[in-house]
C-alpha cells in the first residue's frame, strides 16, 4: 500500500493505493452520514460489498452505466435524492465507480449545500490512474464534453486494484491509454514501460505503475490546481484530438481515443519539427501495444472541428499538447484550417498504409 498526500490551496487529499486498501479504509467511513453514487454495472457486481462495508440502509443512487449519463438530468436527480434522504452539510458523498461516476458525483458534492465532503473510490483502471485524482468534476452539456464543472478536491481517494477483476478488456485498454499518456510526461514511467512491455498484464507491475501515475498527477495538481500556470495542461496530452473523435464517433473508450489522439498529435509534432522521430517511434510502439491498428477516418475533418470546444484553446487557435523529448512536452497552437489539414494528412497516410 502506498499513501500519497496532495496539498493544494483549497484542501488536503490523502490517496491510498494498493491491494486491500478498500477493505482496510472504507469501513471507517460507515460512522459518517454517507450518500453513495454508483452506476448500474458496478452495482450489479458490488452491491453486497457495499452493503457489507457501509450497511444495508445507506442511501445509494444508481445512474445508468456509460458516458451518456454524465448530464444535467442525472446531476439534478442525484441532488434531489440527497435532499430527500436528509443529507446534512457534514455528510460525505462516496463516488463508487469509474470516471463517469466520479465526475458527476464529485460535481454533486461540490454543489450540495455549497459543498460537502467527497471520497472517491475508483473501480476502473482509468479512474485510478487519472480521473479520481486532482479534483476535476464535470458533466457534458449540449454535446460538449465536461462543459459544466468545478475544481473540487476529494478528501480521500481509495484506489484498490482488486476491483479490476470485473473489468472488460476494453476497460483495461482504456486505463492503459492514460498510463501511456503519463509516460510521455514522466521519463521514469516512460523508461519503465519501454523496458517492460512484456509485463503489461502482470498485476504487481500494474499496481506499481498506478502508484507512479498517481504520484505524478498529484505533484502536477499541487503546482497548478486550476490550470493557471499551464503546467496542468500537460495532462491533456492526446486529449484535444482524442476528445473530438470521442464526441463524434462514440465507438471506443475514452482511453482508446486518447491513444488515437496521441498518435495523430505525434504526427503533427513531427511535421512541426517539435518531436524527434526516434522518440515518436518509441511512443507509437507503446501506443500500438494497446491499440494495434490506429484508425483512418474518411470524415475526420468534420470530427476534428469539435476540437474548437476544447477548453485549452485561446485566440481562436487549437491548443495541442505534444511530446517533445523524454519527460518534456510543448504546446502547439494551430489555426483550425492548419489543424484539420494536418489531421487529415495523417489519416490519409494511415489509409494508404492499410492499402485502403
Q: Cα–Cα distance between 211 and 269 in angstroms, integer?
A: 29
Does 136 qualify as catalytic in the annotation? yes
Does 216 qualify as catalytic in the annotation? no
Retrieve residue 248's grid coordinates.
Answer: 463524434
Catalytic position from the list 136, 145, 173, 181: 136
The C-alpha angle 126, 241, 305, rounded to 5 degrees, equals 135
Contact present, 96 and 120 (Cβ < 8 Å)? no
What are residue 2's DSSP bridge partners? 17
Catalytic position from the list 117, 181, 217, 233: 217
Which residues lie below 8 Å from residue 60, measured CB to CB, with a gap of 6+?
Answer: 36, 37, 38, 43, 50
Catalytic position from the list 178, 215, 225, 246: 178
Name the helix (H) or strand (E) containing 14.
strand 12-17
Q: Cα–Cα distance between 8 and 298 in angstroms, integer?
A: 45
Residue by residue, DSSP assigns 169-225 as HHHHHHHHHHHHHHHTT-HHHHHHHHHTGGGTT-HHHHHHHHHHHHHHHHHHHHH-T
Catalytic position from the list 32, 227, 330, 331: 227
Retrieve residue 94's grid coordinates.
Answer: 462516496
Catalytic position from the list 173, 236, 265, 312: 236
Does 252 qualify as catalytic in the annotation? no
Catalytic position from the list 232, 233, 252, 312: 232
Catalytic position from the list 243, 252, 256, 312: 243
Catalytic position from the list 84, 114, 195, 293: 114
Catalytic position from the list 173, 216, 233, 239: 239
Does 114 qualify as catalytic in the annotation? yes
Inter-CA distances, 43 with 32, 48, 193, 236, Å: 21, 9, 33, 30
Contact present, 67 and 100 (Cβ < 8 Å)? yes
Does 178 qualify as catalytic in the annotation? yes
Does 233 qualify as catalytic in the annotation? no
Q: Which residues are known to be catalytic?
A: 114, 136, 178, 217, 227, 232, 236, 239, 243, 254
Amino acid at each position: 500500500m502506498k499513501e500519497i498526500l496532495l496539498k493544494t490551496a483549497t484542501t488536503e487529499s490523502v490517496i491510498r493505493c494498493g491491494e486491500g486498501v478498500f477493505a482496510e479504509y472504507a469501513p471507517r467511513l460507515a460512522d459518517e452520514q454517507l450518500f453513495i453514487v454508483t452506476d448500474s454495472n458496478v452495482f450489479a457486481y458490488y452491491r453486497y460489498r457495499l452493503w457489507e462495508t457501509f450497511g444495508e440502509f445507506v442511501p445509494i443512487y444508481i445512474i445508468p452505466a456509460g458516458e451518456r449519463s454524465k448530464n444535467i438530468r442525472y446531476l439534478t436527480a442525484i441532488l434531489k435524492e440527497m435532499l430527500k434522504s436528509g443529507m446534512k452539510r457534514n455528510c460525505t458523498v462516496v463516488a463508487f465507480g469509474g470516471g463517469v461516476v466520479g465526475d458527476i458525483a464529485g460535481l454533486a458534492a461540490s454543489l450540495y449545500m455549497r459543498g460537502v465532503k467527497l471520497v472517491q473510490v475508483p473501480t476502473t483502471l482509468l479512474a485510478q490512474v487519472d480521473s479520481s485524482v486532482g479534483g476535476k468534476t464535470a458533466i457534458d452539456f449540449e454535446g460538449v464534453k465536461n462543459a459544466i464543472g468545478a475544481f473540487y478536491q476529494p478528501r480521500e481517494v481509495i484506489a484498490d486494484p482488486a476491483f479490476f477483476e470485473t473489468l472488460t478488456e476494453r476497460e483495461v485498454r482504456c486505463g492503459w491509454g492514460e498510463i501511456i499518456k503519463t509516460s510521455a510526461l514522466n521519463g521514469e514511467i516512460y523508461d519503465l514501460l519501454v523496458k517492460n512491455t512484456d509485463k503489461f498484464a502482470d498485476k504487481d507491475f500494474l499496481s506499481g505503475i498506478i502508484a507512479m501515475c498517481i504520484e505524478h498527477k498529484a505533484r502536477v495538481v499541487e503546482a497548478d490546481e486550476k490550470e493557471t500556470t499551464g503546467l496542468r495542461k500537460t495532462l491533456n496530452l492526446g486529449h484535444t484530438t482524442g476528445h473530438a473523435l470521442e464526441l463524434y464517433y462514440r465507438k471506443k473508450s475514452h482511453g482508446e481515443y486518447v491513444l488515437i489522439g496521441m498518435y495523430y498529435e505525434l504526427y503533427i509534432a513531427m511535421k512541426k519539427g517539435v518531436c524527434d522521430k526516434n522518440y515518436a517511434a518509441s511512443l507509437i510502439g507503446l501506443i500500438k501495444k494497446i491499440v494495434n491498428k490506429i484508425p483512418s477516418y474518411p470524415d475526420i475533418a468534420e470530427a476534428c472541428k469539435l476540437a474548437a470546444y476544447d477548453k485549452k484553446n485561446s485566440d481562436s487557435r487549437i491548443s495541442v499538447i505534444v511530446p517533445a523529448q523524454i519527460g518534456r512536452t510543448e504546446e502547439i497552437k494551430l489555426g483550425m484550417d492548419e489543424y484539420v489539414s494536418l489531421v487529415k494528412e495523417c489519416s490519409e497516410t494511415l489509409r494508404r498504409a492499410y492499402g485502403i
